[in-house]
Structures are given as structure tokens and as C-alpha cells.
Amino acid sequence: MSTIPICQSDAEILSNREIGPGLFWIDLLAPDITRHALPGHFVHLVVSDVSEDSSRQVWLRHTPLLRRPFSIAERDPDNGIFGLIYRIVGGGTEILATRRSGERVDVLGPLGRALEPLQSGRPAIMVAGGVGVAPFLSLAQETVRDGRARPEEMTVLFGAATAGLLSGEEKFRKLGLHVKLATDDGSTGYHGLVTSLLERELDRSPDGCAYLYACGPTPMMRRCQEIARDEGIAGQVSLEGIMPCGVGVCMACVVPCVEPGDRLSPHRYERVCDTGPVFDMQEVVL
Amino acid sequence: MKTGPDLTVNLGSCVLKNPVLAASGTFGYGSEYGRFVDLSDFGGIVTKTLTPEPWPGNPPPRAAETAAGMLNSIGLQNVGVDAFVRDKMPYLREIDTALIVNVGGGPVEEFVRVTERLADCEGIDALEINMSCPNVSGGMDFSTDPRRAAGLVTALRTITDLPIVAKLTPNVTDIAQIARSVEDAGADAISAINTLRGMAVDIRTRRPLLGAVTGGLSGPAIKPVAMAAVYRIARQVDIPVIGIGGIMSGEDAVEFLVAGATAVQVGTASFVEPGAGASVAQEMADWCAASDVQSVRDLIGSIQIPPQEDAPCHPS
């Protein structure tokens, strides 16, 4: 269990805009959560409008019922604002996309285990698939802000189905990171999987990666695990999960885990929300 | 809690400061939500089901949202009774609210082992017996058969003086019959209902949404089912009934008391609103004050059933 204080905030939506096809960015005003959040942390949102409205019964206000988890993509601690990136994938995100600035959302956070900080002298590659870019936007921003590592020690390999879904890459460039893109349809950057791009990068500069981060679709992260194991590179993955509670209570969002170095040992189930969402690269069985 | 209506209710010898408890399996061991919710405003907490040994639970995915509810197939993943007493009780003992510990297992002997371990543990106000988990083979059998249900309660009755609350499954033909048999065996209260067996399918992959294929349905979707169960049980037993199923608001809780419940549990609602145990109690108090009800106990079983002459086919 994390020692970071958890806050429940009635956060104001400052903006909620479409930045790509079905892809959105939302900025929320929640100073307590913003103050304590670290890269890799997530928040748990009631996406529907639950503000007092006596004409609707409570259960109707709470449709969809459960909160939805989103990784924090950006933090402006001076103004108490954090940003999230999301894609419409179901009923919850569809409703979130209809919410307007000035409205409020109930937010729990910051939640989960944060990413291992970047270290100077340990060049790192972040492999992002789609909205899996969120924690790395946060990590890059905070690392540059703290001066913990130089931007040129960080490489982002960012893949998506098509160019329009690579929104956010300009933020990395602005921070001075190396950025390489991959698209399934070849509309921009490397034509193919971002994991193939990773293999190519590692071939080209074998000393260019001493630490590997991955967040994206499960097959992408599984391939990253294989590559990291073959190359002997340490790292972390950040996972999603179907999370009713988000704070370690309900035991629903578990993933099978193994002891380090022993992939044949009996599985234990760890909670993505509380033990994760960040796990050591070889710890989880994807 | 403001001064106002009397919210206290009794479950056997266990006195609750208000009728709203956090339901087992939705509130962990208290400390998780206790990080940011004041648990002393709850009527009580029912902890996650304990088995004799730590239990790994079912393969994921373990949850899926459905219309006005959710399916789960956790499969009783828990730390085991020894770790609970050692690691969780010191925290729970300090909370100023009633503590009901939920006891589970496969065969009767496992329930007995857990109960024996808890029997002399200071700070526990009652035991709730999970004789109805739909996600563990065997566990559910106890509350689908009146004789086996009674046998389990009898076995535990002889080894503990703590109030015993029998938690029943709705997945039976006649839940009131099971309730009568556990009352006769010495149960002090009845919790109704556990989740309804349910299933959902992804038609694109043609796979079930749950790793265990079927699971238990909870949330507002099951409230009417729970209401009918509570109403029918309360008419047939003299011990208190704890209503569980889809309670999201104070009015939902009042509805259960009117139908015959003495107390209620909020489950899925806590995932949405971690302070639901307290907010539902406060809303009950506000409702009572506005409705000129002096004590929530005046609500219990106060339902007015109209004459049935015009309804020859009344189903119950």
C-alpha cells in the first residue's frame, strides 16, 4: 500500500477537447491530487454527472456505475491542474467525452505505484502504444523539470494505428527528447509495430538503452518483456485493469505474477490498482 | 452525525450506532478506505471473507460492468485468518464502529477452524458466515440446502458466543425456508442477499467476460430481488434481517427497513462512493427527520400491504 495520501476531489473540468479521432485530453482542477501525484500514478473518475439533481434517482445519476481509471499525463502543480489523455473505447469514455468545462467530476487519487524515476547516466527508452503514452508524458515532463536526467538520455518510441492517434508526441519534442514514431498504416514514421522499431533501435545503438519502460496494448508489452529479457535490460511495465475500487479492496484487477528469475513458480495474483499499475518488467505474466 | 432521529439498532447482542454496514468483499480490511474515509461514521464494517489459509482466488478477468450493476468472480482471494488476526485486527480494533468478521471455507471443518481462531480475538462484535459465495465450488451448497445450512450454523454455534449472522444466497427456490432453518440452528441474524449468479459474453470474441465464466451480480440491478427476499424472510423469522443489494442512497436503505430489514449493507456503492456507508446513514437520518420518524426502529417491517382480494394470482 502506497504512503502517498489519497484524496477525493470534486474536480472542475477546465477543458475537455478532442485531439485526434476519438482521442481526448481533459484538464482537471484538483490541487490536492496534483500536489501528491508522481509519474505513473493514476486517478479513478466518476465519469457521469452526479451533481445534485433531484429529478433523477441516484442509480440513474450513476450510469455507468463504476469509476474509470486514467493515468496522469501531465501535472501543473503551481496551478493545481492535471491532465489525462483518453480514447473512446466504451460507454464510460463516451460519456466522459460529453462532459464540458465548468462541470465537475468526482476524482480519487493519486493511486497506485509510481514509475521508477529516470536516472542520469542510465539512458532509457519508453515504448508507448496509443494512450499508453500518458505515464511517459508525465515522466518526461517531471524528469526534465527536476533536472534528474538530461532530455537526450531519454528516447520515446511511440506507436499507434495511425498518425492522428499519436497526439502528444510534440510535447516530448518540446522537452528535447528523442522521439520516433511507428504506425500500423504507415501514415507517419516507421511502418509497422513499435516493438519492431524498438528492436531496430537496440540493434543500431546497443548502449542506448539501460532501462526500458513499456505501456500499451498487452501484445506490445509482452513483446517488450521478451526483448528486455533477451537483451538483459531492466525496466518496468504499466498496466491497465478492470478496476471496480481502484484502492486495493475488491481484488478484481489482478494479474498473475512470478518471483524474479523464476517464471515456472506458482502464480500469485497481484492487484493492478494497488501493487501496480507499475510492475517490474519480468514480474507479471501478460 | 448530527443529533436527531435515533439511528441505533441491535443485531442480537451487537449494537449498531446506525443501521448501515459496509458489506463483505467490498471494503477489504477497513484500512484501505480508512486512509481517506472516516470509518467511525459507519454503523459497522464487515471484512472480506476469511479462509483458514491464504487463498489465491480465481483467474482474471474478475469483474465486468453490466446494466446498473457489475459481475464479479473474485473467488475469495484473502490473506487467511492468521494474517488477518496478526496484521489487520490491530487497525480494525481501534476503529469506533462495529466489526463483523466474515468467515468462509470449503468443508465445515474450514469454517470451524476460522471461527475457532477468531473466537477469543478481542474487538470482534459478530461473525458473518459466508455460506453463499457463488464463486467457490462447495461454498454455495450450504445455503442452497436447509439441512446443510443448519448443520453449519450448529457446528459454529457450539464454538463461539459471538453473534452469528448467516449470509444467504438468492440462488434458491425458497430463501425463507433456508432462513428458518438457520434461525432454528441458532443464528442471531440473517444477511440477504449475496450476489445473484450471472454471466456476460463478448460476442466479438465469443468469450465470457469473466475468467471463471459465471460470477455474482451486484449493484442497483439486484435491489428489487433483494427487497423481495428480505420481505419474505422477515415475515418468517424472528431474528433480525440485514438487507443487502444495490443500496446507493438513504432512501434505498429506508425502503429495506420498511420491507423488514433491521440493518443494511452497502457493497458495490462503496466502489463508487467510498464514504457510502456514512453518507447513506446520514441520508437516512435526514429522511427520518424530514418525515417525523423518531427512531429508525419504527421503520422496521412497517410495510403496509393492501388487501389482496382483487389479486387471486398473487405470487407469494
- Which residues, listed in sequence order, are joined to residue B14 by a DSSP beta bridge? B11
B36 and A32 Cβ atoms separated by less than 8 Å: no
| Cα A161 versus chain centre, distance | 18
What pLDDT was estimated at residue A57?
81
What pLDDT was estimated at residue A264?
57
How far, in Å, CA of B303 to CA of B288, rounded? 16
Q: Does B218 touch chain A if contact means CB atoms closer than 8 Å?
A: no
Q: Does the distance separating the beta carbons of A254 and B35 come in below 8 Å?
A: no
| pLDDT tens, per residue, chain A with 286 residues | 567 899 999 999 999 999 999 999 999 999 999 999 999 999 999 998 887 766 778 888 888 999 999 999 999 999 999 999 999 999 999 999 999 999 999 999 999 999 999 998 999 999 999 999 999 999 999 999 999 999 999 999 999 999 999 989 999 999 999 999 999 999 999 999 999 999 999 999 888 899 999 999 999 999 999 999 999 999 999 999 999 999 999 999 999 998 765 555 557 899 999 999 999 999 999 9
What pLDDT was estimated at residue A166?
96
**B41-70 b/e with 16+ CB inside 10 Å = b?**
bbbbbbbbbbbbebbebbebbbbbbbebbb
User: Taking CA A250 as the corner, what is the angle to CA B242 and CA B92, rounded to the nearest 5 degrees?
Assistant: 65
User: Taking CA B288 as the corner, what is the angle to CA B283 and CA B290, rounded to the nearest 5 degrees?
Assistant: 95
Q: Nearest CB to B65: which of A7, A58, A66?
A: A66
User: What is the SS3 string spanning A89-153?
Assistant: CCHHHHHHCCCCCCCEEEEEEEECCCCCCCCCCCCEEEEEEHHHHHHHHHHHHHHHHHCCCCHHH
Q: Does the distance separating the beta carbons of B62 and A252 come in below 8 Å?
A: yes
Q: Chain A closest CA to B133's CA: distance in Å?
A: 15
Question: Does some domain include residue B270?
Answer: yes
SS3 of residue A26 by DSSP: strand
Q: Does A59 touch chain B if contact means CB atoms closer than 8 Å?
A: yes
Contacts of B94 (CB under 8 A, 6+ apart): none
Q: Can you give the CATH number for the domain in which B227 is found?
A: 3.20.20.70
Q: Does the distance separating the beta carbons of B56 and A269 come in below 8 Å?
A: yes
What's the structural domain count of chain B? Answer: 1
What pLDDT was estimated at residue B136?
63
The answer, yes or no, to whether residue B2 has pLDDT greater than 60, is: no
Residue of B nearest to A90 (CA): B65
Instruction: Output the nine-digit C-alpha cell for A246.
Output: 481502484
Instruction: Indicate the DSSP class of residue B306.
Output: P
Per-residue CA distances from A131 to A82, A189, A239, B169 (Å): 16, 17, 12, 41
What pLDDT was estimated at residue A58?
82
What pLDDT was estimated at residue A163?
96
What ipTM goes with this model? 0.93
Question: Does some domain include residue B314?
Answer: no
Question: Does some domain include residue B1?
Answer: no
User: What is the SS3 string spanning B151-199?
Assistant: HHHHHHHCCCCCCEEEECCCCCCCHHHHHHHHHHCCCCEEEECCCEEEC
How far, in Å, CA of B149 to CA of A239, rounded? 42
Contacts of B206 (CB under 8 A, 6+ apart): none
How far, in Å, CA of A265 to CA of B189, rounded? 43
What pLDDT was estimated at residue B140?
54
A30 and A82 Cβ atoms separated by less than 8 Å: yes
Question: Does some domain include residue B315?
Answer: no
What pLDDT was estimated at residue A52?
72
Question: Does some domain include residue B14?
Answer: yes
Question: Does some domain include residue B2?
Answer: no
Per-residue CA distances from A125 to A129, A188, A222, A223 (Å): 13, 20, 16, 14
- Which residues, listed in sequence order, are joined to residue B25 by a DSSP beta bridge? none
Question: Does some domain include residue B312?
Answer: no
**A75-101 b/e with 16+ CB inside 10 Å = b?**
beeeebbbbbbbebeeebbebbbebee
Q: Does A192 touch chain B if contact means CB atoms closer than 8 Å?
A: no
Q: Which residues of B are catalytic?
A: 133
Domains of chain A: 7-111 (2.40.30.10), 115-238 (3.40.50.80), 239-281 (2.10.240)
Find the range with the poorest average confidence among A1-5, A251-255, B4-8, B290-294: A1-5
Q: For all residues of chain B together, what is the average pLDDT?
A: 94
What pLDDT was estimated at residue A208?
85
With bands split at pLDDT 50, 70 and 90, how would you rate the model's confidence at B210? Answer: very high
What pLDDT was estimated at residue B253?
98
Q: Does B42 touch chain A if contact means CB atoms closer than 8 Å?
A: no
Tens-digit pLDDT profile for residues B36-64: 999 999 999 999 999 999 998 999 999 99
Percent with pLDDT over 70 in chain B? 94
**Length of chain B as a residue count:** 316
What pLDDT was estimated at residue B308?
77
How far, in Å, CA of A271 to CA of A251, rounded? 6
Question: Does some domain include residue B236?
Answer: yes
Q: Does the distance separating the beta carbons of B27 and A249 come in below 8 Å?
A: yes
Residue of A nearest to B219 (CA): A65
What pLDDT was estimated at residue A61?
86
Domain span at residue B123 reads 9-298
Tens-digit pLDDT profile for residues B246-286: 999 999 999 999 999 999 999 999 999 999 999 999 999 99
Contacts of A248 (CB under 8 A, 6+ apart): A1, A271, A273, A274, A275, B28, B32
Q: Chain A closest CA to B72's CA: distance in Å?
A: 7
Q: Nearest CB to B26: which of A46, A248, A249?
A: A249
| pTM score | 0.94
Picking from B24, B26, B32 by the largest number of A CB atoms within 10 A of its own CB, the best residue to mutate is B32
B104 and B130 Cβ atoms separated by less than 8 Å: yes
Q: Does B38 touch chain A if contact means CB atoms closer than 8 Å?
A: no
